[in-house]
Amino acid sequence: MLRTFISIFSLSLLASMVRYATPLTLAALGGMFSERGGVINIALEGIMLAGAFTASAVTVKIGNPWIGLTTAAAAGLLVALIHALASIQFRADQVVVGTAINILFLGVPPLISGALFESTGSTPQLPRDQTLPEWHIPVIDQIPVLKQLLSGHTSITYLAFALVPISFYVLFRTRFGLRLRAVGENPEAADTAGVSVYRLRYAGVLLSGILAGIGGAYLSIAQNSLFTRNMTGGRGFIALAALIFGKWHPVGSFLACLLFGFAEAVSDQMQGVVPIPVQMIQIIPYVLTMVVLAGFIGRATPPRAIGMPYVKEK
């Protein structure tokens, strides 16, 4: 039993936690900007799928993962623009719009993949030199424990972690962040003060699209070397749970993403080690998501105007 415990809870487990938390962190930070502005972004799952497929397909065709990453961010931006137009401009129900986008992008990537690569299940396997390279940090590489935890990750992981303090600064120390939060709390008062509610809400939703698109790209050209159907596996919804658990705060959301990443890493490490059916082990992150939502959603206080379309008075 002790050997089993040691084999599961090791430094490799914590390194896996960092990798699994990366796409969750990007999607959660993106959702934070959208929802702080008052727009619910249920569509994070669909945006991540769009980013994952675009990154893989473009990299297969062009052979450059950096171009694939850029196009994934652009794809996320375009999908978020659809969400913004429907939710902000046409004042459609934000949850319904997000759900429709999620359903749409369960089917669109396999359809395009079948047309481009004659396979609806996955895109072609990328060679190692066409996936994002791992970065080794010279100073950290000299420290045994930190080397395994913090070095040898891809650029997207370091970007995700750097965006946590950057998002905190933008949200709480800049004029843009102040106005975005004002629009999410009281759009009428913000409008009276001369703040463009529509412009700020568009900015928040489009930012969420860029970040979630990059998070999706991580799955297909960094963590894996191809896109497979529904490869996000509910990570967009887990990111939403982390956002709520973290009370729409960048640091709290990041810590929640680490918790969910830890749960996913544990379920991965337990397979083949613990005499439990694989299916039971694989549901650990999703059970944790349900527990968090059931236990904390009532305690978290969202922005007051979240989900409420704004109609400018003439």
> Maximum distance among all alpha carbons in the chain?
70
Number of Cβ within 10 Å of residue 74's Cβ equals 17
In a domain, 73, yes or no: yes
Exposed e or buried b per residue across 177-203, where buried means at least 16 C-beta atoms within 10 angstroms of its C-beta:
bebbbbbbbbbeebbeeebebeebbbb
In a domain, 301, yes or no: no
Tokens of 244: 């709520």
For residues 94 and 40, the answer to whether their CB atoms sit within 8 Å is: yes
- DSSP SS3 for 228: strand
**CATH number, residue 169:** 1.10.3470
In a domain, 310, yes or no: no
pTM: 0.93
Range(s) of the domain holding residue 230: 2-130+137-296
Residue 36 to residue 205: CA distance in whole angstroms: 10
In a domain, 313, yes or no: no
In a domain, 195, yes or no: yes
The CA-atom distances, in angstroms, between 34 and each of 86, 121, 169 are 14, 31, 16
In a domain, 53, yes or no: yes
Total domains in the chain come to 1
In a domain, 312, yes or no: no
In a domain, 189, yes or no: yes
Q: Please report, in tens digits, the pLDDT of each residue of the chain (314 residues total).
A: 445 545 456 778 888 899 999 999 999 999 999 999 999 999 999 999 999 999 999 999 999 999 999 999 999 999 999 999 999 999 999 999 999 999 999 999 999 999 999 999 899 999 999 999 998 888 888 887 788 788 889 999 999 999 999 999 999 999 999 999 999 999 999 999 999 999 999 999 999 999 999 999 999 999 999 999 999 999 999 999 999 999 999 999 999 999 999 989 888 877 766 667 777 777 888 888 888 777 666 567 889 999 999 887 76
